[in-house]
Amino acid sequence: MISLSDRVLLMATGEIECPGTEGPGSLRWGWLADLYSHPVWGLVTIPGFSTAVGHTVATLCLDMPTGTVDPLAARWAAVDRLAAIGASRAQSAGLYAWSAVADSSVDAHDYLGGHQFSGAEAVSAAFWAHLAAKPAPVAETCIAAAIEAWASRLHCPSTRGAIA
């Protein structure tokens, strides 16, 4: 049986499917919003990461499919600078969480520029944050819940909100 950390590594390298990397933009950005703000499996549960930033990034993610390009680009640029500051001060799990923010900023700029984005780097960093911050069984539960929430959305697009 493959360990959870090995599974996350395989997701990060593209050897196995990473949740949230394909599908309609509104579903992807909605799930990525929960990746930051969900009270059970979101990055807001990671010590060393800012809850306020998690909710701000979640709001930006939700605005992506319908927002105006220039204001969104400016807001993401500010979040990217904030991520650099946060990462410079963070340790271990918090560093992974801030890295996820920086990766989402890159994805947002790609999306706003009309380019494809995968989101795999942000998802992998978020999962690494759980692995670094929590005991293995708790991290596994959080990651499994995130993956299940993605699968539920992808297979039932009318579902609004994550399933914990």
Residue 13 has pLDDT above 90, yes or no: no
What would the pLDDT profile of 105-144 be if each residue is shown by its tens digit?
999 999 999 999 999 999 999 999 999 999 999 999 999 9
The model's pTM is 0.90
Q: Check residue 130 and give its pLDDT.
A: 97
Confidence at residue 53, expressed as pLDDT on a 0 to 100 scale: 96
Amino acid 162: pLDDT: 44
Number of H helices, E strands in the chain: 7, 0
Q: Cα Rg for the chain, rounded, in angstroms? A: 14
The domains of the chain are located at: 4-9+24-155
Q: What tokens appear for 157 in the block? A: 């697009």
C-alpha distances out from residue 71 to 26, 27, 76, 94, Å: 18, 21, 9, 28
- Tell me which residue has tokens 């590594």: 9
Q: What is the pLDDT of residue 157?
A: 56
CB-CB contact of 132 with 124 (8 Å): no
